[in-house]
Amino acid sequence: MRARLSYQQQDERPAFSLAAALWRVGAEAVLDAWTTGPDGSPVFRGAASPSADTDDAVILLWSAVAATSWGDIPADSGLPSGLTGTGGARLVPVRLDDTPLPPSLGSLRHLRLAEGTDRMTDVAAAMIMNIGSTTVSAPAVRGDIREDSPAIADFGRLGLFAACPRCGVSSDRLRPYITVDHFSDRALRLVICGACGWQDACDL
């Protein structure tokens, strides 16, 4: 699979990390950086052609920086063709933080990096490949995948979540947490459901 990563210049570090993870799981990843022009609008500055029609998927890294740069453009008119490419390429948003997607993208299946961007996991990259291609098998996902709940959340070693395994609420209601179990003297990484209180943990 050939994937093009479109991202704001300020999000370069997570873009490079995700590109490396995609290569590890078998995707050909090319970088497509955007910056803010003098008039405040996004300007393409990457090495890949922004109108390439050979992409299987276009991966849009979405963050507070991206939302500020794009402003009302996605809400008013959708994303420009220079970002999404042409042909049959699938658009796969990847949320680097809790910044919501614009309404024009909100119904798309996408990945939320719940643990932050310090390290992109191979399982997250595999999920992105599955969303972007009809021929790539999906990795294991906890909770039921539903059409009305398009976000898949990556919690690192705790896995991928489509919903809370207990109450079925969207994975957007699941939150990461770090604590110390003083009885066993262990540092723990948790995922906690904000709706029903369900939780799971692993060693930090």
- The whole-angstrom separation of Cα 162 and Cα 155 is 11
**What confidence score (pLDDT) does residue 39 get?**
52
50 vs 168: which has the higher pLDDT? 168
First to last CA, the chain: 33
Lowest mean pLDDT among 79-83, 117-121, 139-143, 149-153: 79-83
Question: Of the given ranges (45-54, 81-90, 91-100, 106-115), which has the lowest mean pLDDT?
Answer: 45-54
Q: Are strands 160-161 and 186-193 parallel, antiparallel or unpaired?
A: unpaired
Structural domains present in the chain: 2-139 (3.40.50.10140)
Tokens 């995707």, located at residue: 27
pLDDT of 55 above 90? no
Hey, what are 157's tokens?
Answer: 């070693």
Give percent above pLDDT 90 in the chain: 55
The residues facing 202 across adjacent strands are: 189
Provide the angle, in degrees to the nearest 10, between the axes of the packed helices 12-24 and 122-132: 80
Q: Mean pLDDT over all residues of the chain? A: 84
Between 107 and 46, whose confidence is greater?
Answer: 107
* pLDDT for residue 79 is more than 80: no
Strand order in the sheet with 186-193: 174-181, 186-193, 199-203
Query: For the chain, how long is the longest CA-to-CA vector?
Result: 58
Distance CA 128, CA 125 (A): 5
Lowest mean pLDDT among 25-39, 91-105, 119-133: 25-39
Average pLDDT over residues 148-163: 94
Question: For 20-34, how does the pLDDT look when each residue is reduced to its tens digit (9 = 90+)?
Answer: 999 999 999 999 888
Query: What value does the mean pLDDT take over residues 105-125?
Result: 89
Nearest CA-CA partner of 161 in 106, 99, 115: 115
**CA distance linking residue 154 with residue 160, whole number of Å:** 5
DSSP one-letter code for 99:
P
**Residue 186 above 50 pLDDT?**
yes
Angle at 138 between CA 65 and CA 153, to 5 degrees: 35
Q: Which of 11-25, 62-76, 116-130 has the lowest mean pLDDT?
A: 62-76
Q: Residue 35 above 80 pLDDT?
A: no
Identify which has the larger pLDDT, 88 or 74. Answer: 88
Choose between 200 and 138: higher pLDDT.
200
Q: Is the dihedral of CA 171, 11, 51, 1 positive or negative?
A: negative
Amino acid present at 55:
D
* Nearest CA-CA partner of 32 in 19, 45, 23: 45
- Cα 94 from Cα 152, distance rounded (Å): 10
Q: What is the pLDDT of residue 38?
A: 47
